[in-house]
Amino acid sequence: MVDALKFAVSVYVIVFVGVVAALPHQRRISPYNLKLRNPLANGYTYETLYLKQNVDHFGFENDNTYNQRYLVADQFWNHDNGPIFFYTGNEGDITWFCNNTGFMWDIAPEFKALLVFAEHRYYGESLPYGSESYANSTMLNYLTAEQALADHAELVHYIKSTVPGAAKSPVIVFGGSYGGMLAAWMRLKYPNLVLGALAASAPIWQFPGLSDCSSFYETASSLYYDASQACGDNLRLGWYTISEIGEGAAGGLDFLSQTFSLCKPLTSKYDLFDMMDWLANVYVNLAMVDYPYPASFLEPLPGWPVKEFCKNLATPLKEKDLMVALAKSVKMYFNYTGQATCLNISQQATGNLGDKGWGYQACTEMVMPTCSNNSNMFYNIPWDFKDYAAQCKADSGVEPRENWISLQYWGKNIKSASNIIFSNGLLDPWSGGGVLQSLSPSLIAIQIPLGAHHLDLRAQDPGDTADVRAAREQEKNILKDWLYGQ
């Protein structure tokens, strides 16, 4: 555990991408997470602070406390009741979210806003039990969205009641991905504290019974087919080619291992399943970060990385030629900066903190079905809650609750809420689990056709598409309406 934690402080991780891939039997979950080798040095300056929080907000037997980290930037703030823009931190180091949520920094001067980035418990430095936080399911018991929201609520309350000038400051919560879910849920559950929420790429309906589990892989697949028909067909054929070569003539496993420069050579056909799982995650993640300009979100990548990835695959290929081309593309993803010496297909299974955290959350509350039925470039990936639950129980000793999130956060019946922007980039595989149509004049859906995973929350960039610029303008106007409209 100590090693894992030491790792975590120097490594930025993204773990939301809780893809369930299944081949041939269902796999539990493999949150994809990669090192961000070059965290953005964007010059944002902030103060790092800590608030003592109850480890258990929902019970009184455990009176332990811990320090929640939060970052504050007040250089833009109108200290006389200027608004507070509050990022509801999600599953990772808050400094990373802070640095990758440039939209808040870009608009803070115009709104004269105080910026606050609140870290989610069990991630980054906000560890309820320090290096023991992940030791077992007893220690992990307080890792839930409800507890995290209560932390954020207490922090909002604390800031408003202690910072001079903040008492009457309206609070807008911002978040992307799971952080966007938390932002939306914060408005549902604590509208006394927050005036409104910008929930970017928040798949609040990617839960059992709320949306079609196939949309995730369908969307991802469509990006590759849009790049070129041949690219999608090649990737689809690739699964069979891997099996054929790996299970075929002697030397097949070695060929694959060498071609993909695998750190640990394949030694059996079971390793092929891991490899395919790993590849499926690569495709999905690349779709998630299909930004129009070079960016370092999951990995340092060129602009429109799916198109880049598909360049080598633009003509029909087969057999070893297909593998050689595919490997070249995969290395583009993992090794754009030329620093990787080999590729590690068990990377998502290594024990870094963010990964463990999301793995636990996925096995408790965050039951987010994804599936594929061979209708696209992915292999068959069934969804079966019972299998999923059994594997969670076997692996981590906890059992997920299939309908809890729907019950707790209102499922499809959110019309009685107000003041939430649900923005979604349509390139994002998660968009199918998001709110894509406005539900009322104050539950506003914004679609960004050429946007990937919460592109709108990123800092403005000369390479931005027109639609993300328009989305940000619309978001600013809605915020102004909330803040000044009455």
- Hey, which residues are catalytic here? 177, 428, 453
Q: What is the DSSP string of 246-305?
A: HHSSTTHHHHHHHHTTBSS---SHHHHHHHHHHHHHHHHHHHHT--SS-EESSSEE-SSH
Nearest distance in Å: CB 191, a second copy: 4
Distance from C-alpha of 44 to C-alpha of 460, rounded to nearest angstrom: 14
Of 404, 447, 460, 474, the one binding a second copy (CB under 8 A) is 404
Q: Does 153 bind a second copy (CB under 8 A)?
A: yes
| Tokens coding 91 | 């599953």
Q: Parallel, antiparallel, or unpaired: how do β-strands 84-88 and 171-176 relate? A: parallel
Distance from C-alpha of 91 to C-alpha of 120, rounded to nearest angstrom: 6
Stretch in the footprint of a second copy (CB under 8 A) among 61-69, 231-239, 271-279, 450-458: 61-69
Q: Does 411 bind a second copy (CB under 8 A)?
A: yes
Residues counted in the chain? 486
Q: Residues 80-119 vs a second copy: string with x where CB under 8 A?
A: ----------------------------------------
Q: Does 160 bind a second copy (CB under 8 A)?
A: no
Q: Are 143 and 357 in contact (CB under 8 A)?
A: yes
Stretch in the footprint of a second copy (CB under 8 A) among 21-29, 262-270, 285-293, 408-416: 408-416
Residue 151, CA atoms < 13 Å, CB-side half-sphere: 34
Q: Are 187 and 420 in contact (CB under 8 A)?
A: yes
Stretch in the footprint of a second copy (CB under 8 A) among 146-154, 240-248, 249-257, 287-295: 146-154
- Looking at residue 378, the DSSP 8-state letter turns out to be S
Distance from C-alpha of 247 to C-alpha of 110, rounded to nearest angstrom: 61
Nearest distance in Å: CB 344, a second copy: 30
- Decide whether 62 or 477 has the Cβ nearer to a second copy: 62
Size of the site for a second copy (CB under 8 A): 41
- Decide whether 2 or 407 has the Cβ nearer to a second copy: 407
Q: Are 167 and 160 in contact (CB under 8 A)?
A: yes
Q: Residues 235-254 vs a second copy: string with x where CB under 8 A?
A: --------------------
Nearest distance in Å: CB 114, a second copy: 20
Would the CA dihedral through 230, 234, 235, 236 be positive or negative? positive
Q: Quick one: which of 84, 188, 193, 217 has its CA closest to 435?
A: 188
Distance from C-alpha of 174 to C-alpha of 50, rounded to nearest angstrom: 20
Nearest distance in Å: CB 5, a second copy: 21
Nearest distance in Å: CB 379, a second copy: 31
Q: Are 122 and 133 in contact (CB under 8 A)?
A: yes
Q: Does 154 bind a second copy (CB under 8 A)?
A: yes
Stretch in the footprint of a second copy (CB under 8 A) among 109-117, 171-179, 289-297, 413-421: 413-421
Q: CA angle 293-295-299, nearest 5°?
A: 135
The site for a second copy (CB under 8 A) is made up of 54, 56-63, 137-138, 140-142, 144, 146-147, 150, 153-154, 157, 189-193, 364, 398-399, 401, 403-404, 407-408, 410-411, 413-414, 416-418
